[in-house]
Amino acid sequence: MNTFRLIIQTVDGQVLDASVQQLICRTIEGDVAIMAGHCNYCTAIGMGQARITMEDGTTRTGVCIGGMISMHEGECRLLPTTWEWAAEIDIARAQEAKRLAEHQLSKPELSEEERAHETARLQRAEIRLSIASLSQQKR
């Protein structure tokens, strides 16, 4: 199988630099699959699951939220605002974030900006919990 170089870099540091077969992640336009030979491409990342098929055929899953993805001359750079490997998600923390966001959203006096912030917090928590749950089912 053909491979390409994938670099995942967050503000906290490098997450991955490896030769991979495929990357599937959510962009603001929907899911995209990147494989060797993909045309040059650049877009904003949405909020969702990312699946990486490693060179040896194994699959790794993570939560990928915000940022940019680019494919340029055979090298893919994924620059998410937030990245967490599925196996490393703190489920208790995600459940607490969900609970707090739901509590805040129940308040009728929230401004539009506060409501948008809490809605995004709720979405991030739900995505983390969903991906953690899928990861545990595969074990």
Query: What token pair was written down for 110?
Result: 């929230």
CB 77 within 8 A of CB 4: no
pLDDT at 139: 55
pLDDT at 105: 96
pLDDT at 5: 98
User: 28 and 78 share a domain?
Assistant: yes
User: 81 and 93 share a domain?
Assistant: no
Per-residue pLDDT of the chain (139 residues; tens, 9 = 90+): 799 999 999 999 999 999 999 999 999 999 999 999 999 999 999 999 999 999 999 999 999 999 999 999 999 999 999 999 999 999 999 999 999 999 999 999 999 999 999 999 999 999 999 999 876 666 5
pTM above 0.95, yes or no: no
pLDDT at 1: 76
pLDDT at 138: 65
CB 23 within 8 A of CB 78: yes
Question: Which of these three, 61, 86, 111, is where a domain ends?
Answer: 86
User: 53 and 105 share a domain?
Assistant: no
SS3 29: coil
